[in-house]
Structure 1
């Protein structure tokens, strides 16, 4: 029309109706990312003073929130999303299977209100499929479950399938418990109310719908539900308009249940979180690089990085360590190739811990040097054969002292200092005991009466090394002594 002032009354009434029924196009994700609730405070910074005061106090109690698209399904979407999110926070893989079986058993309620299984199972499969995906992710511990949940609810077809199933559950609960809701619906007609305010598309969740979902979906799962209302009522904080907590079989409240929290602003629902509702991410500490192990052998220097496969080779480089059967296998022999121009090293006075042996060593070829690490004779039954180490040299001939094998074990009554000799290119460790350490404890024969009368005593006639004891008159008549053995040994 060219001139609105010349419009008829019918045209003006039509324009008024269009203006009253106008709804802005919904934008943004169906379910947004979790963000700080300080964004709500910023949003109401220039609004009504009551809103400014209440939203300013909101972040102190509820640290985070999540937006839902206001397309007429935000309330249903917020409840369905927080239900699956609470299952994730619980972290029990078996809980997903239990909930699927419980919801599947509620098919009898849907059959009672006239919805056969062929009608509602297609919508229920969307919810059951999401449960299985989340259960597999939780069991695999891959950390992908929150992303799977968010992507599913941001897919319009998948999310609407779940929302439709949730609506049918609410309608079935209200109609099968008509006595609990009859006084809250117009004319007490529960079936008509469900057909006009719950089941149709773009029908926002109201108090009756939320109460029905709390009883049918939330509380049986062990969760609680509360709705916080941001309005112009007096006060400095938002008001709680709905609260439901789970109970056990004796109708006693469950301790510390997971709570599902919704923020209601006239005509719109969002999701609220407390700080303790958000699991803290595990901080991955960077693994420091393993430093290289410097191994010096004679004039050889090499950077060696210990690995599982060469731990045994490292042990052979420690003075006093020999191949042992404790490792299960013989240690592999080492082959070192010397550089013709080795790196300069500090001059150290060589230490000669062992006496020289007059026996001359055989000449060694200037191209290859073979040496054997001798093992102690008394440990021959416990240790493997000594390893042969092959070293290729490009230098003048060398001779290494070949030490004789250690003496055989000494008997108890004639104990002598045991000298342990080792050959090879290793210097003795500063922590090795001095030769003959502890031998002073072995030279004293046993003086107990049991030992004196046994054949292990050399004074006993049954001992192979029998030697009679000599009589000492001074010891026989010594004052204060009970026997010649004690006086002789004193």
Structure 2
């Protein structure tokens, strides 16, 4: 080694050691974070020591949620103060906030006993009292903003530091006024010196003595409990409880189902823990049931029943609107409507001519309700379909009625067994089942029908087949002139 090489002196080593021991990374993040799943702690320690991995892996099963606190030297005090106000919200009693304000105000006697006049601590206490009033006002109005008000207050540096300073003064006053309970745990038994050096200064983190003092001065009189869970490298598969203060009443009787304030202590830092039961459940209102859809169908038949037909469905004429195969039905739709048929109009029957001796075979009308059936007998009346609402108030009129045509037997082809249905109601002017079949014989009943395209003998009918002239048939009638033509 060269003679001129630099050799650090002992003072330099001491200075470097001091800088290393006093180094603290800059604290970042919110002063109090949002509540989140404790599985994030398991993920954070996934690559850490095996003992930490085992303990953090078992943590979510017992404590479902946690909340972070910024590690700026006040995280312990901040965690206790925040959970104290949060426990009041969990109780949800507006009167409880007013009682706590009165009780905390009365603790001024403790502060006065250790030499702090009201002028010294009242400004810090007013921030805590104002927060109690805001939370009570929010609960009274039921606006749902109380939890947000609490979180915003503790994330405001000025307001949160004022509340933390007031809490620390309460802890110092409790330790000094109950020195017999703490003197065996402080150096040389000097309680006052210990509070002046380890509780009251700004950058002093909460220790076991300060937490125990706050449990007695702030937490237990409010009817709450406090416990601290320690995540360390001690043997075991779960975190250890390092502090516990059971909630009791004024007669030191345990309070059942009292809110518990839970802190998670990692070496040098405090966070907040929650069990699943500590978090209020959000009850989602089920969606209101939808009302039935009422569809008014114009000119609907109250007693309509789909019937079989061998006539091509009119819906198949629309592109894309056809059943998927033979015998398939159209997709069914449920129409919920309440028909209110109109009252039938009374029509004075008309006396017809005497009927012919041979009874007339009525034509099956299937579902064509617009056709008026003809009945044999001495009297007849018109049956108005249920879809019409016509009231005839005119006096009866006698009309000349011609005798009906001779009865004709119509043989209809058996309909094909296709069941029709679907979202479209058949038209009242739809042809009857089997009408238009090529196998049936259509008679000439009237001159109108004879000239209609419904007549199979009419050239406009789809099934029209013109008669063909056959020469051989004409020659077979013995026409002499034609025979002469053949012999020539």
Question: Which category of TM-score, normalised to the shorter sequence, fits these structures?
Answer: 0.5 to 0.7
Offset of residue 350 of structure 1: 4.6
Distance, in Å, in 2 between the alignment partners of 1:400 and 1:262 is 95
Partner of residue 70, structure 2: 69
- Aligned: 1:158 with 2:159: yes
1:116 and 2:109 are equivalent in the alignment: no
What is the match of residue 276 of structure 2?
275
Corresponding residue for 2:11?
10
Q: How does 1:478-489 map to 2 (within 5 A)?
A: none
Q: Distance in 1 between matches of 2:341 and 2:169?
A: 90
Indicate the residue corresponding to 1:418 in structure 2.
none
Deviations 1:352-372 (A, max 9, x none): 5x999xxxxxxxxxxxxxxxx
Distance of 1:183 and 1:73 partners within structure 2: 25
CA–CA separation in structure 2 for the residues paired with 1:21 and 1:113: 32
Structure 1 residues 250-259 or 262-271, which shifts more?
A: 250-259
User: Is structure 2 residue 236 aligned with structure 1 residue 243?
Assistant: no
Name the counterpart of 1:474. Answer: none
Take 1:347 and 1:89, find their aligned partners in 2: how far apart are those partners? Answer: 57
Aligned counterpart, 2:471: none
- Alignment check: 8 A CA contact 2:65 2:273 kept: yes
CA distance in 1, matches of 2:188, 2:36: 43
Q: For the residues of structure 2 that align with 1:290 and 1:214, how far apart are their CA atoms?
A: 56
- The residue aligned with 2:344 is 351
C-alpha deviation, 1:97, in angstroms: 0.3
Q: Label 1:121 to 1:347 Cα distance change in 2 as closer, same or farther (>3 A).
A: closer
Which residue matches 2:150?
149
The alignment status of 1:256 with 2:276, answered yes or no, reads no
Structure 2 gap segments, 5+ residues each: 301-338, 349-389, 396-488
Q: Identify if the C-alpha distance between structure 1 residues 36 and 348 changes in structure 2 by more than 3 Å, giving closer, same or farther.
A: closer
1:98 alignment counterpart: 99
Provide the secondary structure at the position in 1 that maps to 2:171: helix
**1:419-458 residue pairs with structure 2 within 5 A?**
none
How far, CA to CA, are the matches of 1:94 and 1:142 in structure 2?
A: 17
Larger RCO: 1 or 2 (CA < 8 Å, sep 6+): 2
1:400 deviates by: 11
Q: How does 1:364-379 map to 2 (within 5 A)?
A: none
Pairs within 5 Å for 1:7-406: 7-287=8-288, 350-351=343-344
Task: Return the offset for 1:349.
Answer: 8.0
Question: Which whole-Å CA distance do the structure 2 matches of 1:213 and 1:287 have between them?
Answer: 49
Cα displacement (A) at 1:6: 4.0
Is residue 75–residue 271 contact of structure 2 (8 Å, CA) maintained in 1? yes
Give the CA deviation at 1:399: 5.3
Distance 1:253 1:74 in 2: 29
Deviations 1:360-403 (A, max 9, x none): xxxxxxxxxxxxxxxxxxxxxxxxxxxxxxxxxxxx998599xx
Q: State the TM-score, normalizing by the size of structure 2.
A: 0.60
Q: Give the structure with the larger strand fraction.
A: 1
Aligned equivalents of 1:85, 1:347: Cα separation in 2? 62
Please give the per-residue CA displacement for 1:412-463, whole angstroms capped at 9, x wherever unaligned: xxxxxxxxxxxxxxxxxxxxxxxxxxxxxxxxxxxxxxxxxxxxxxxxxxxx
> Take 1:47 and 1:298, find their aligned partners in 2: how far apart are those partners?
79
Instruction: Provide structure 1 residue ranges, at least 5 long, that are not aligned to the other structure.
Output: 300-345, 357-395, 402-490
Q: How far does residue 4 in structure 1 lie from its aligned partner after superposition?
A: 9.2
**Residues 213 and 297 (structure 1), Cα distance of their counterparts in 2 relative to 1, 3 Å cut:** same
Secondary structure at the residue paired with 1:250? coil
Q: Distance in 2 between matches of 1:126 and 1:209?
A: 21
Q: Which deviates the most, 252-261 or 80-89? A: 252-261
Per the TM alignment, residue 19 of structure 1 is displaced from its structure 2 partner at its CA by: 1.6
Distance 1:350 1:105 in 2: 84
Question: C-alpha separation between the residues in 2 aligned to 1:4 and 1:146?
Answer: 64
Q: Compare CA radii of gyration and give the structure with the larger one.
A: 2
SS at match of 2:252: coil
Moved over 2 A (4+): 3-13, 284-299, 346-352, 396-401
Distance in 1, Cα, partners of 2:5 & 2:250: 67
Shift of 1:192: 0.5
Cα deviation per residue 1:178-209 (whole Å; 9 max; x = unaligned)? 11111111111111100000000010000000
Q: Is the 8 A contact 2:52 2:233 kept in 1?
A: yes
When the two chains are superposed, the root-mean-square deviation of aligned CA atoms in Å is 2.9
SS at match of 2:228: strand
Q: Aligned pair count? A: 314
Cα deviations across residues 216-245 of structure 1 (Å, max 9, x unaligned)? Answer: 000000000000011111111111110011
TM-score by length of structure 1 reads 0.60
